[in-house]
Amino acid sequence: MKDIHQHKLLILDFGSQYTQLIARRVREIGVYCEIYSYDVAIEHIKSFAAKGIILSGGPESVNESECVRAPECVFELGVPVLGICYGMQTMVHQFGGKVASSDKREFGYAKIELKTTSVLYNGIPDVQDVWMSHGDKVVELGEHFEVIAASENAPIAAMAHKCQPFFGVQYHPEVTHSAYGKELLENFAFKICGCEARWNPASIIEDAVNKIRKQVGEDEVILGLSGGVDSSVVAALLHKAIGDQLTCVFVDTGLLRLHEGDQVMQTFAENMHVKVIRVNAESRFFEKLNSNSDPEQKRKLIGTLFVDIFNEESSKLKRAKWLAQGTIYPDVIESAGSATGKAHVIKSHHNVGGLPEDMKLALIEPLRELFKDEVRKVGIELGLPYRMVYRHPFPGPGLGVRILGQVKKEYADILRQADAIYMQELEKSGWYDKVSQAFTVFLPVKSVGVMGDQRKYDYVVALRAVETIDFMTARWAHLPYELIGHISNRIVNEVKGISRVVYDVTGKPPGTIEWE
Ligand code: XMP
């Protein structure tokens, strides 16, 4: 098997919101890449041994930020370099050209026209739409560079070094609005850097399986399985690599969606023959939650009890030496701290840190190199059901934060049924994949209704659906009125205990996506 990491690119991050997108686009064309902060120690850049380097965009101005520069070694390694937006500006500046500062941003579509032939634009039309997002722009190239493309607003929209393989583009080829962005990245990676496309789901799996086997040998591994995408893919991958040396612990909290526990068992235990210990802990969770209605306290209670139960079960597996986790690449980048200077804390997975001291489990994280979209593709390649891999996100505390205030089994049962109808109808109408997340919230207040000749006095549920890219901000989804009406009718008619359905029209901000 060819080494899938051998042909790789390095992305130096200057803090652009698009840096991870550059990495995802490069991976999509089949080339492995990693993101390092622009000020990482030079030894790391050298030892990474990339076939080419991409300098990302960033919020700084080269005329004001003296130290936000590409390390000089980048231009001395003998590998091609592509500067994007700020990356291009700092390259020009470092080679003696000039960048003009501006308070006005150029943001949105622009047309660029090629001024000369360049391998960077091989097979790309002379005139093309690109996506601009910049304030400063290059105004003088200095003696080393020449213009290869211009737009009306940016006469130096793309440039190339006269005798070295160094290129710069003012616009963002990584954004899909740039019509030939993918082709430009392909030209850079394949024609200029000489990479081969080796990065694809099948080769990622083969590589991971080999690594896992080498890493764990004959040892046994424990995995906390939640039914979410990441832990499901880890389970499938580990099972492929080490079969029965893997034991999964699945804690059924009673706060899961309709039939979710059975579905997890069916997929993993029955169909794939993975060893799964199902812990039915429903009554313990409801007992704990009985006396608490504060959202933060509920989250803490659920988290702590989950860790306790997971520990109880895993400490029975005396022979286990490894704990597997679904850490993915964005968690790794964030924990390393990004170029924006924000120090992020790594996602606190519920099963780390809480394990008893004497268990001394070593961590195995087979998805550490993968973006979420890659995790999904790997999951599909491993044969996991499409709906499991492309399911909307579900919060760790589950229905515990979708039942407002006090959590009772009676409420959870009602909510599960209503939510299942909502999801069914979203699937049927094609809206499930058009929205980013949708769910039902249980409101523990009663409202009057009529059904037939009977007066009803029952609970209220709220339907929520949002569209978002990063879950940090979101807009409420404009589901068709007819669809909302149909869902509402079905819920009130079919779910005993509900007399009224409302639709949440709050964005984030000011609301959060979940209600608690
Ligand atoms: P909010 O409600 O903060 O949610 O706007 C943003 C996204 O995060 C999910 N979420 C959680 N995920 N544990 C999780 O794993 C949690 O405690 C949690 N709380 C919220 C939420 O579903 C949405 O996708």
Q: What is the pLDDT of residues 464-514, one digit of tens each?
A: 999 998 899 999 999 999 999 999 999 999 999 999 999 999 999 999 999
Classify domain 201-389 at the CATH class level.
alpha beta
Q: Has residue 173 got a pLDDT over 90? A: yes
Helix or strand or coil: residue 174? Answer: coil
pLDDT single digits (tens) 28-80: 999 999 999 999 999 999 999 999 999 999 999 999 999 999 999 999 999 99
How far apart (Å, rounded) are the C-alpha atoms in residues 468 and 473?
6
Nearest-CA neighbor of 122 among 185, 164, 166, 172?
Answer: 185
Q: 79: Cβ–Cβ under 8 A, 6 or more apart, which residues? A: 50, 51, 52, 53, 165, 193
Q: Which of 34, 174, 183, 374 is catalytic?
A: 174
Q: Mean pLDDT in the chain?
A: 94
**Reported confidence tier of residue 345, pLDDT bands at 50, 70, 90:** very low
Q: Is the CB of 513 under 6 A from ligand 1?
A: yes
pLDDT tens, position by position, 259-295: 999 999 999 999 999 999 999 999 999 999 998 999 9
- Please indicate whether residue 73 is annotated as part of the active site: no
Strands 246-252 and 145-151: unpaired
Q: Which CATH number fits domain 8-192: 3.40.50.880, 3.40.50.720, 3.30.70.260, 3.10.105.10?
A: 3.40.50.880
| Average pLDDT rounded to a whole number, residues 162-167 | 98
CA of 469 to the centre of ligand 1 (A): 14
Taking the centre of ligand 1 as the mean of its atom positions, its distance from the CA of residue 203, in whole angstroms, is 32
Helix (H) or strand (E) holding 93: helix 86-94
Q: What is the percent of the chain where pLDDT is above 90?
A: 91
HSE (side-chain half, CA atoms, 13 Å) at 501: 24
Query: Is the pLDDT at 94 greater than 60, yes or no?
Result: yes
Give the model's pLDDT for residue 104.
80
pTM given for the model:
0.91
Q: Do domains 201-389 and 408-503 have the same CATH topology?
A: no
Tell me, which fold does domain 408-503 have in CATH? GMP Synthetase; Chain A, domain 3 (3.30.300)
Residue 349 reports pLDDT greater than 50? no
Beta-bridge mates of residue 501: 461
Domain-by-domain residue ranges, the chain? 8-192, 201-389, 408-503
In this predicted structure, what is the pLDDT of residue 16?
95
Residue of 471, 504, 508 to mutate, ligand 1, most atoms within 8 A of C-beta: 471
